[in-house]
Amino acid sequence: PTLIPQNHSLRKLQENPCNRGIQLIIWIDEKKNLSRTTCICPPSYYGEHCQYQNERVSLTIEFQSLSDSWSTLFTIVISLIDHSEQRIIHSYEQLTYLSVRDCKIKYHIYLLYSNRPKSQIQNYSIHIDVYEKVSLDYRASFLYPIKFLFLPVHRQALIIIIPGLKETIKNCSN
């Protein structure tokens, strides 16, 4: 067995005190050589040393459009919503998509829950709306429920096919 010296973990903390973040040195008084350090955390982490993981949805998404829409510029709004009466949007991301330019791109998005910890009794979904960017004509909506709420990170991979111009929009009441 390999023995690791006790001060090994202390040395690791001193090398990178911000875990997954970026360490900043803030100069308080340059003449007295007074400074303090702080950490800038990525969205998926928080805490003084970026030591805690945010509960989140890690979404990998690819879009495809039919041939009648290859040159249509789309605005796509991706939201993390709950199923309360208010349908609260916990976080969202807005993308611009052009099929001839972006057809091979896979987008990697983090959607964070607005509360820490997230409610275990609430249900959540990923809600996606697609609009034509120039005319703002509505094209489609998609809803994907979040399963296994006990997991801190929900990983989801989606391929979204944007409906063509000739497809009729069906309401739930039809």
SS3 per-residue string spanning the chain: CCCCCCHHHHHHHHHCCCCCCEEEEEEEECCCCEEEEEEECCCCEECCCCCEECCEEEEEEEEEECHHHCCCEEEEEEEEEECCCCCCEEEEEEEEEEHHHHCCCEEEEEEECCCCCCCCCCCEEEEEEEEECCCCCEEEEEEEECCCCCCCEEEEEEEEEECCCCCCCCCCCC
Which CATH topology does 56-162 take? Immunoglobulin-like (2.60.40)
Does the domain spanning 7-53 belong to CATH 2.10.25? yes
- Domain boundary assignment for the chain: 7-53, 56-162
pTM for the full predicted model = 0.78
Q: Tell me: the pLDDT tens digits for 136-154? A: 999 999 999 999 999 999 9
Residue 34 pLDDT exceeds 50: yes
The region of weakest confidence among 71-75, 101-105, 157-161, 165-169 is: 165-169
Q: Span 11-16, mean pLDDT?
A: 58
Query: Looking at residue 1, what is its pLDDT?
Result: 47
What percent of the chain clears pLDDT 70, i.e. is strictly above it? 87
The region of weakest confidence among 6-15, 91-100, 105-114, 165-174 is: 6-15
